[in-house]
Amino acid sequence: MHLTVEKDNDLLIDGDSVVYNLNISLLNALKGVDKSVPTIDGNKDIKIPSLSKHKEEVILPNLGLNRKGNQRIILNVSYPDDTKSMIEKLEGI
């Protein structure tokens, strides 16, 4: 049996795992959010837990290659340009 795999710019292969980098805002990382992400089975809705950290991973079991691996969603938290002023405001509360 021969399989042809099409290149996908969003999904990466790492061993038996499929990796997807998800960009989320700092606010969404702090409060948690539901997101739709691409998988080898099409889009899936996932829950990003509150207080998520930059580069933290959400794991979707058995969605890797040949159902042996997992899909790893790597969270890329973006920080606003005015993070320093936001922190100063929070310190005043």
Q: How many domains does the chain divide into?
A: 1
In order, the DSSP letters of 12-65 are EEETTEEEEEEEEEHHHHHH-EEEEEEETTEEEEEEEPTT--TT-EEEETT-SG
Q: Is the pTM of this model over 0.85?
A: no
When pLDDT is cut at 50, 70 and 90, the band that residue 23 belongs to is very high
At residue 73's C-alpha, the angle toward residues 69 and 75, to 5°, is 155
Within a domain: residue 51? Answer: yes
Residue 71 token pair:
């899909």
**pLDDT (0 to 100) of residue 4:** 54
Whole domain around residue 29: which residue ranges? 11-91
Question: Per residue in 40-80, pLDDT tens?
Answer: 999 999 999 999 999 999 999 999 988 889 999 999 999 87
Residue 34 token pair:
């539901």
CATH of residue 20's domain is 2.60.260.20
